[in-house]
Amino acid sequence: MKGAYSHPDAFWKTGARLDEYGINAVFVHSGSINAELAARVRSEGAKLYAEFATLNGKGYVEKHPEAWPVNEKGEPAPAATWFLGACPTEPGFRAWRMKLLAELLERYEVDGVWMDYLHWHAQFEDPAPVLPETCFSATCLGEFSRKTGIRIPAGTPAEQAKWILGRREKEWRAWRCSVIADWVGQIRAVIRTKRPGILLGNYQCPWRDADFGGARRRTLGLDLGLLAPLVDVMSPMLYHRRMGRSTGWVGESVEWLSRTLNSSAGKPPLIWPIVEAHKDPGDVNAGEFREALSQGRSGGATGVMMFTIGAVAKDPAQMKVLKELYNRW
């Protein structure tokens, strides 16, 4: 898979064609997909994958405060820099998301769905992560009790949060991971009904088990062992500049994920990383872009894409690198 992430409009405006550049897959936000885009992507020989904002609450929770994530003080959690999650157990939000997915699949012949923002409210994409404790809403506390059989003593939401984190932390963290896995299972079920056989992938936090005090599982609720059997492809977001790393980290991360997935039960998902081409922060020049792409498809990876094709289109030197590598591969 030789991919391009984001709408290829800026790329097309340079006069380029997808097949001329060896691009055989395009990943576009579901809201930007229309019949014209789908037809053009197909006519240039590429597959079309829909990026699907899963637990992004912005634009929804303001109008439906019952789905706003609740922190350990019992208050609505503030946005985590530019991201605002949603409460994953709030039934209205969940039904609304699944309806959007069903409509997308009824309308367009996409080749797959890529879950984005598949995690509890937090910010892992910024150099300084924001890792709040959520969600202590009534629906979350009720579900936690129902699923685990744990009775939470009466009290204010803040008191109940304190009790859970102090007395039942292990069960709480495990339950949170199961909630995310359950979302994936339901998305899979919608796909099976509406468009069986297409791929289910996800944009995945690239942190290893020990990074940031175990925050991938602890705060984001991402247990790779639980998720691996449910998805066809994982796309770790290996933005080396944004995360203050070198391009070497990209390859090491692919290696780590590959080892980790191979040691979990069942057939491991494919690995198609997304690497950085963006100019913010720092300048990913053409040489660095070449290195990031090469490291991204190294080891156990069987594909790669970049963030974003729009950024590449602005830089003739990056365009040259892309054309050369993708055609060679």
Q: How many of the other CB atoms lie within 10 Å of CB of 86?
A: 27
Q: Indicate whether 87 belongs to the interface with Zn ion (CB under 5 A).
A: yes
Quick note: the x/- pattern for Zn ion over 263-302, rule CB under 5 A, is ----------------------------------------
| Residue 135 vs 177, nearer CB to Zn ion | 135
**Going along the chain, which residue ranges are E strands?**
3-5, 25-29, 47-53, 112-116, 199-204, 233-238, 270-271, 274-276, 305-307
With CB under 5 A as the contact rule, the residue among 56, 123, 137, 235 that binds Zn ion is 137
Binding segment for Zn ion among 16-24, 32-40, 127-135, 293-301 (CB under 5 A)? 127-135
CB of 135 to Zn ion, least distance (A): 3
CA distances from 279 to 28, 173, 191, 239, 285 (A): 20, 36, 35, 11, 8
With CB under 5 A as the contact rule, the residue among 1, 38, 135, 261 that binds Zn ion is 135
Binding segment for Zn ion among 82-90, 154-162, 239-247, 250-258 (CB under 5 A)? 82-90
CB of 275 to Zn ion, least distance (A): 33
Place of tokens 């208050």: 75
The answer to whether residues 23 and 326 touch, using CB atoms and an 8 Å cutoff, is yes
Q: How far apart are the first and last CA of the chain?
A: 10
Q: Indicate whether 179 belongs to the interface with Zn ion (CB under 5 A).
A: no
138 CA to centre of own chain: 26
| Residue 140 vs 261, nearer CB to Zn ion | 140
- Residues forming beta bridges with residue 48, ordered by sequence position: 26
Binding segment for Zn ion among 84-92, 199-207, 226-234, 272-280 (CB under 5 A)? 84-92
Task: Give the residues lining the site for Zn ion (CB under 5 A).
Answer: 87, 135, 137, 140
